[in-house]
Amino acid sequence: MSTPASLADLAALPATAMPEAVAIPPVRRPLHGTVRPPGSKSLTNRALLLAALADGTSILRGALADADDARVMVRALRQLGADIRLRGGVAGDGDSVDAAGNAEITVRGVGGRWRLRPGEIVSLDLHNAGTATRFLAAAALLAPPESGGVRIDGNARMRQRPIGELAEALRAIGAEVQFEAAEGYPPMLVRARTRYAGEVSFGRTSSSQFVSALMLAAPFMPDGLTVRQPGPVTSASYIRMTAGLMAQLGLTATGDAASGMHWDATSMRGFTYNVEADASGASYFLAAGALCGGEVVIRGVPAQGSLQGDTAFAQVIARFGGTVQGDQTHMVVRSDGQLGRGGRPGVDVDMSLIPDTAMTAAALAMFASGPTRLGGLRTLRVKETDRVAALQNELGKLGARTIVQADFGPDGPDESLLILPPPHRWMDGSASTVQLETYDDHRMAMSLALMGLARAGVIIRDPGCVRKTYSTFWRDLAALIETG
């Protein structure tokens, strides 16, 4: 490998022109600065889908735009007939976005029915965008029955990520689903019908997105839909996010998950919506403040009243000795920096409601003075990579012992990861250089980079993979370190 780039070098580069590796500089003083993450991917993609299905024009402000997952979703919705434009031009590689990678997006919707010609099959290449894949597989129910259907496909990793549970739900209400390679995995062809059964029931799922997908389609179905979850609910915080956003936009359900959430068939008007900054992206900077000490302000992520479940990562920060406060506009983390010096004990915490922040918590655990157990990790196996296995590999390179344990979480049998951190001499200036792989997984890259702030010699491979959701991450991290 050639000499890794410095973090300062990366700050001036677009995510599409990243070098093969970056060296993370240790921080020797408390951090003091402000960060605004890009718009929430979860809220942006939900709002984009609803706007594309609405009747009339919608405006999304502060929406994530300069990220692979958002571009994939925009391109797919345009293929299905929605007219989507960003400030400064039509959605595409030349879109005009602000410094944080956000945009004002104008969407002219299709009025509840995708615009496919008779016999036409639309093929959607969704790369490794799990949210877009699951949401659009269910939204394929809204194609004209006389069309040939919607083909859902992605890259090699997406073809390894199971979608059979959602396919069975689609079949149960009357859709035709055909897997074109391996049963239960993309590519899959979904053919719509004139009418559907009025109720669908989910057991325990491997992803909450299967449930959210049908919730988002429900109001646009010919007779509405009741979505029932009588048993354990996977990642319930994301189900609440979906229901909360829909309610804010006027799509209110009756009932509850156990008895059945019912949406009447409706014609949704266009809307204006302000997208919160991404709480998952904020977790890395909350963790940086906890590790290094000082005061870091996160703009755009509400500490109170957010639809995003990942704001609960503030509770994990508190367990590691930091404090997080704020209001409806921001969060602020304060810490004495003892964690980064090995001065805080390990924790035992359930991550099942905030699984996307589990890798961030694992990075913090490496600096604790004793073991940490992270529970509720079973959904990490089917993310952009097998994140449990990836954590074991990379933390092991730094001297940690990790043990996967059978667990029983709030929604049934689960997995936990016990992290036994290395001796604290691993953090001194004589520490050996270690190259950490990122597995083409944006969250692995951003989480592992945190350890370089308090341990010398950390090199992150393939830093460009952050473009999936947070193209400006390295610039924001470099700016925080510089101002700190």
Q: How far apart are CA 145 and CA 114, in angstroms?
A: 10
| 467 token code pair | 């473009």
Q: How far apart are CA 335 and CA 316, in angstroms?
A: 13
| 289 token code pair | 């403040």
In contact, 421 and 368? CB cutoff 8 Å:
yes
Q: Buried b / exposed e across 135-159, counting CB within 10 Å, b at 16+?
A: bbbbbbbbbbeebbbbbbbbeebbe
Q: What Cα–Cα distance (Å) separates residue 376 from each residue in 116, 216, 315?
A: 41, 26, 16
Output Rg (C-alpha) for the chain, integer angstroms.
22
| 73 token code pair | 């979703």
Catalytic residue annotation: 356
| 437 token code pair | 């792989």
List 5's β-bridge partners, or say none. 22
Instruction: Please tell me the total number of residues recorded for the chain in this structure.
Output: 484
Q: How far apart are CA 116 and CA 82, in angstroms?
A: 11
Q: What Cα–Cα distance (Å) separates residue 274 from each residue in 47, 109, 271, 281?
A: 10, 18, 10, 17
Chain center to CA of 187? 22
